[in-house]
Amino acid sequence: MCGIVGLLMANESDFVNQLLFDGLTVLQHRGQDSAGIVTSEQGRLNLRKDNGLVKDVFQAHHMMELRGHVGLGHVRYPTAGSSSCAEAQPLYTNYPYGICVAHNGNLTNTGVLSVEVREKFQRHINTDSDSELLLNIFAEAMASNTKTTPTPQSTPTPQSTTSSKTMVDTVFKSIEEVMEKCIGGYAGLYLINGIGLVGFRD
């Protein structure tokens, strides 16, 4: 059992940090093991997470660094993995785009998924958390479903390589693939850097 929250402000000059903090404080009963917030500002991800209660993890100087108009928050009650700070969420992978996850629930086929992520996708898994598997399976689906043709002169960005409709189709096709592979009871919120937020549950 965990608590997850995601926010996207219409005005890009507004910050979500205080609203995420307030939301996690209200959700504190869902998990007291660790707390974390990630925000995105102009393509840069700002992350703070640690073991402890919301009020202890986020001091004023941390809150000032969590700038951005879009973000995720998580409070954890460990039901899989360990109580290690490494398993505090949100979790992050840099490819593609920079994707973060706040996850609640359990996957029941982690053995099969772990082999697929490590051997087929050649992705490194650093924890025993099923949340990290969920993140990497979604990231791999996004990578394989994104069609880009970058020019040699420029580095592709989500906005320059795909239309909005194509990106929406890519995101939903990737979610469909995740839900076909991942068995259990779970909900996930993803921040896709430069694109937005998406949430789904089994």
pLDDT tens-digit map of 139-163 = 999 999 996 434 334 444 555 555 7
Specify the 3-state DSSP secondary structure of 192.
strand
Q: Alpha carbon 98 to chain centroid distance?
A: 9
List the one residue out of 127, 86, 80, 136 whose CA is nearest residue 107: 80
Spatial separation of the C-alpha atoms in residues 120 and 81, rounded to whole Å? 22
Integer Cα distance of 61 and 123 in angstroms: 34
Percent of the chain with pLDDT strictly greater than 90: 81
Cα dihedral 154, 159, 160, 166 sign: positive
Catalytic residues: 2
Among 42-46, 125-129, 137-141, the range scoring the smallest mean pLDDT is: 125-129
Q: Which two tokens stand for residue 4?
A: 């997850």
